[in-house]
Amino acid sequence: MDEKSTICRRTFMALSGTLGLGTVLGGVPSVLAQEVPSIEQQKFLVKWWLDTLLDNLDSAEKSGCLNAIEVCGRGCAQYFMGSHGQEAIAEIGDNKDLDQILAILNKHDFGGGNLIREGNSVIGTYDKCYCPIRSAGYTQTPVFCNCTKGFSKEFFERILGKTVEVELLKTIAAGDDVCQIKMTLV
């Protein structure tokens, strides 16, 4: 285990403990005091917990914690590729031609069908957030957009068989009118 992972885990546990202590001391939403919260209250609690945790992770040891969020995004991409993306992935097959792959992904409306090539990079511009966790209202904090970095890395690395670096250029969560992601083949 590397030092960054240990630091992030330590920070995570400290923050989680703080949230737990806040429950005992009454420093969190009153919904926790009820025996069986309603579905709406449970959703509010999950949203509050995620936002609090993510906001604090954003100010903690940044690189290790943000990497943990990216790892979750990679897992989400693996799920997506095994369920929703199968038709496009089957059509791509062993094809490694970036222009042809983008044409297939756009045809299948991946990310709204707005993937374009700029040199050895792909720019995805999205008019809405496609994250089901954010769309369901569980969190609105921009730090959660690092999950998208992991999703994009996993998705394009698997399809292309090459390492991909991802940069978030714009995010709706941060107040931009679109999400814009740059994926560069390394």
Q: Is pLDDT at 168 greater than 90 in this prediction?
A: yes
CB-based contact 45:37 (threshold 8 Å): yes
Any idea which residue has 């799920």 for tokens?
79
Residue 64: what pLDDT? 67
Q: Is pLDDT at 180 greater than 80 in this prediction?
A: yes
Q: What is the pTM of this model?
A: 0.69
Structure tokens belonging to residue 176: 């931009």
Average confidence score pLDDT of the chain: 77
| Domain 3-185 belongs in CATH node 3.30.1380 | yes
d(CA 20, CA 16): 6
d(CA 81, CA 112): 17
pLDDT digits (tens, 9 = 90+) for 120-158: 999 999 998 888 788 878 788 888 888 899 999 999 999
Residue 98: what pLDDT? 94
> What are phi and psi for residue 124, nearest 5 degrees?
-110, 125
